[in-house]
Amino acid sequence: MKAEYEKRFEIPEGCEITVEAKTLNVSGPKGTLSRTFPEPLVQISKDGNEIVASTEFSRKKTRALVGTVLAHTRNMCVGVLHGYEYTMKIVYSHFPMSVDIRGEKVFIKNFIGERGERSARLIGNVEIKTTEDEVIISGIDIEHVSQSAANIQLATKIRDKDRRVFLDGIYVIRKRKGEEVKSIV
């Protein structure tokens, strides 16, 4: 059948993509990523140096799925070529907190004077480094890096206290996507 709606994405230099049924395998200098798109309404194919996502239906939601497939493909290419890095700032004014990494978990000690430790789970294959006042999370999969940062930030969410007074926590201040740096603050 003829495709009603299609979009194309040009594969960047240094990145190699193979398409097997609904699975994309993207490899580059930093590693390899694989993702399966189970959506039955979207077809994915490789045409020369381009990835083509198309659908036979021109409904708004199926057109959006075509764009979603290409956005994930673009993110995978940036990841295997340059990688992603989130920088988080450790902020405290009342009690000095410390961050410890053990295995697949990050432990936050002495958060607003609590005796127990708070923990956050790291997702996937990410590298994490800590300095005195920063936590740096890096990896090739944007979903793993961003979800790990979100888990750490959520672990230090303050409940039952005035957030205007207790600003303590660990917050994302900078995102690096390839060569592009986006500052949050």
Contacts of 17 (CB under 8 A, 6+ apart): 11, 24, 25, 26, 27, 46, 51, 73, 77
pLDDT in tens, 24-42: 999 999 999 999 998 888 8
The bridge status of strand 98-102 relative to strand 31-36 is unpaired
- pLDDT value of position 184: 67
CB atoms within 10 A of CB 143: 17
Asked whether the beta carbons of 73 and 26 are under 8 A apart, the reply is yes
Contacts of 88 (CB under 8 A, 6+ apart): 134, 135, 136, 137, 149, 152, 153, 170, 171, 172, 173
Tell me which of 3.90.930.12, 3.40.50.620, 3.40.30.10, 3.40.50.300 is the CATH number of domain 84-183. 3.90.930.12
- pLDDT value of position 121: 95
pLDDT tier for residue 10 given thresholds of 50, 70 and 90: very high
CA dist 55 and 41 (Å) reads 6
Ramachandran angles phi, psi of 118, nearest 5°: -100, 150
Tokens 């709606």: give the residue: 5
Question: DSSP string spanning 57-70?
Answer: ---HHHHHHHHHHH
Domain layout of the chain by residue ranges: 5-81, 84-183
Q: Do domains 5-81 and 84-183 have the same CATH topology?
A: yes
Tokens 């059948």: give the residue: 1
If one compares 70 and 180, the residue with the highest pLDDT of the two is 70
CA dist 66 and 91 (Å) reads 41
pLDDT in tens, 48-69: 899 999 888 888 888 899 999 9
Superfamily of domain 5-81: Ribosomal protein L6 (3.90.930.12)
Residue 46 in this model has a pLDDT that exceeds 80? yes
CA dist 11 and 3 (Å) reads 21
- pLDDT value of position 2: 63
- pLDDT value of position 21: 85
Distances (CA, A) of 177 to 6, 79, 142: 27, 8, 9
pLDDT in tens, 142-182: 999 999 999 999 999 888 878 777 788 899 999 888 666 66
- pLDDT value of position 113: 86
pLDDT in tens, 71-113: 999 999 999 999 999 999 999 887 899 999 999 999 999 888 8
- pLDDT value of position 94: 77
